[in-house]
Structure 1
């Protein structure tokens, strides 16, 4: 098994070409105009390479077929080099076949709620096989409760619970990031092993699927799961009573080897394959993409720099905090231009102490770099957000 630090030598070919002045890329969109002033960066072009994961790739595993745009490569390198934290960024052109990756795009990062994407795909794959229907009823009761964000809990009344269609439960899991809805879907398809089998069958490598919400969050905190943690703030209270050393050790172990770890590059490729119709039937593909377009979470992440006329369907993920640190602050999705060209992107912040605003600005800078590259890479007048300006100048 390759070590992360050996990735460049063993798993990727990188061409380094002669550099004149590094290309500077920027653009103005709504929200924060010209968020990033990109610093000169090494020119690198990524070519075809496999991602190592928990399964062997199938014969239809996707590989890049074109050379990455030089300006976008430089921009992503500059953005990620100037961020104080563990971050992986990857952008795959759905139509043109190139991929741009940051240095840590092959390193597994905590997915957190990004993993809801794989649960939903597994459900839709079962729909394609005729084992489940989107209009099948599904009932959620108090015994199904998980922890953290579960707005469906307010709809569960008495012993009757809350009944909705499978399709509606998916929408709640994907668009509202409802943990209980996702866990119900996970059990509907057969648990974590069913999701892992789907990933293996579809040749999605570089993506691990964890033990489920309850066990994952308990382990990250340094706890053993108890059913009572699903009620009220019982989990937070139990976590607060742990010795600081227990919490720190559990946190560090999770970040170092997350059981739900996934590489930004692997996610980007999987999303490109989804958009290209390689993972699900045409009807399920269209249904999922439309559902992702309606996501309500993370409006200040990548979405905060999406210009008018563009569409961004996505899934966010956010992990637990320990002091000022956060284990997983993510946004992955498909950004589509008015002319129909699409870019599958993944921004995975595995661990950082930086303020939330700076994390959001990094994600918005990635979106701006994509938009600028799509428009020809022309540079516009710098008008940098004060928070971003302070961030870049301090490095």
Structure 2
């Protein structure tokens, strides 16, 4: 195993062996999370890992949850690994055409002019990891060799609880039982939405319920905080400047301000990546947030929150994230 990955493998063993009385008020966490999950009206998974003394706590920590755009953080790391391997340069131009557009959120597609444009690789990383741009993420994934490259990177680093398996243009339609778009297809989002609306509710709901149990494009909360811990330690990348580049992007993002960040005390810092799925028939696929929180006193911890299959509205789901973060801070010893 490469030296830079040994820490993550050792971290997994240490986490499993953590003492029962960790550096968190576990009783407070156990009681508080029950009420938050009830209010969230969905399946809530949480993991906390103190970056000073490695104490941990989790709720449904070994269960799998849909990743949604959380995958864009390990994707960014995988891209930078290939930069370090000499396969790419950060200022290397990547050609984008209109046929490359993916489903849903894409600032790149909204500001696109003409039929083809070149973007520096660094800009695609910024768009994907910072603005959750689906087009940029799919393009980066294709450039590095596909989703399995990211999953293999995680496996090589000792992280077995995160699996990245499909492009955005594939898994988003498949969540609802529709055919995903291939790279030879031009994504027609209005047509997709019309087909989705035309499906009988029982078919949409059935497909969504199956997707909520799918182990593809999914993660466990405990694996997520181990990934974050290794990132905080700089273990995924050889060059500190590359880790700092990604950290700056995910610290400055405006997305998800009402989730974990809203539950942290004033003066805290959060480097994070969110994930959000569609809501159909009153059921939200996923509302997620994982990150590294730094409190005003310098205390740092990794936090992963996944909320799947919730019937609460968007504000209530985000409030649940903030409540978990608040509970985590209040439970620190």
TM-score normalised according to structure 2 size: 0.89
> For residues 263 and 114 of structure 1, do their structure 2 counterparts lie closer, same or farther at Cα, with a shift above 3 Å needed?
same
Deviation at 1:58, TM superposition (A): 7.7
Deviation at 1:339, TM superposition (A): 3.6
**Hey, what's the Cα distance between the residues in 1 that align with 2:149 and 2:29?**
35
Structure 2 counterpart of 1:47: none
**Hey, what's the Cα distance between the residues in 2 that align with 1:70 and 1:371?**
9
Structure 1 counterpart of 2:153: 198
C-alpha contact (below 8 Å) 1:111/1:317 kept by paired residues: yes
Q: Quick one: higher RCO (CA 8 Å, sep 6+), 1 or 2? A: 2
Deviation at 1:232, TM superposition (A): 4.4
Q: How does 1:40-189 map to 2 (within 5 A)?
A: 59-62=9-12, 63-64=14-15, 65=18, 67-71=21-25, 73-82=26-35, 83=37, 84-102=41-59, 104-159=60-115, 161-189=116-144
Q: Following TM superposition, where does structure 1 have runs of at least 4 consecutive aligned residues deviating by more than 4 angstroms?
A: 226-229
C-alpha contact (below 8 Å) 1:58/1:200 kept by paired residues: no
**Hey, what's the Cα distance between the residues in 2 that align with 1:248 and 1:58?**
38
CA RMSD of aligned residues (A): 1.9
TM-score normalised according to structure 1 size: 0.76
C-alpha contact (below 8 Å) 1:208/1:261 kept by paired residues: yes
Deviation at 1:139, TM superposition (A): 2.2
Cα deviation, 1:339-387, whole Å, max 9, x if unaligned, reads: 433111000002111222222222112222233345x5xxxxxxxxxxx
Deviation at 1:113, TM superposition (A): 0.5
Structure 1 counterpart of 2:4: none
Give the number of the structure whose residues are more often helix, by fraction. 2
**Hey, what's the Cα distance between the residues in 1 that align with 2:311 and 2:121?**
38
Deviation at 1:59, TM superposition (A): 4.6
**Hey, what's the Cα distance between the residues in 2 that align with 1:254 and 1:342?**
34
> For residues 162 and 341 of structure 1, do their structure 2 counterparts lie closer, same or farther at Cα, with a shift above 3 Å needed?
farther
Is 1:294 the counterpart of 2:252? The answer is yes
Is 1:219 the counterpart of 2:174? The answer is yes
Deviation at 1:275, TM superposition (A): 0.2
Structure 2 counterpart of 1:357: 315
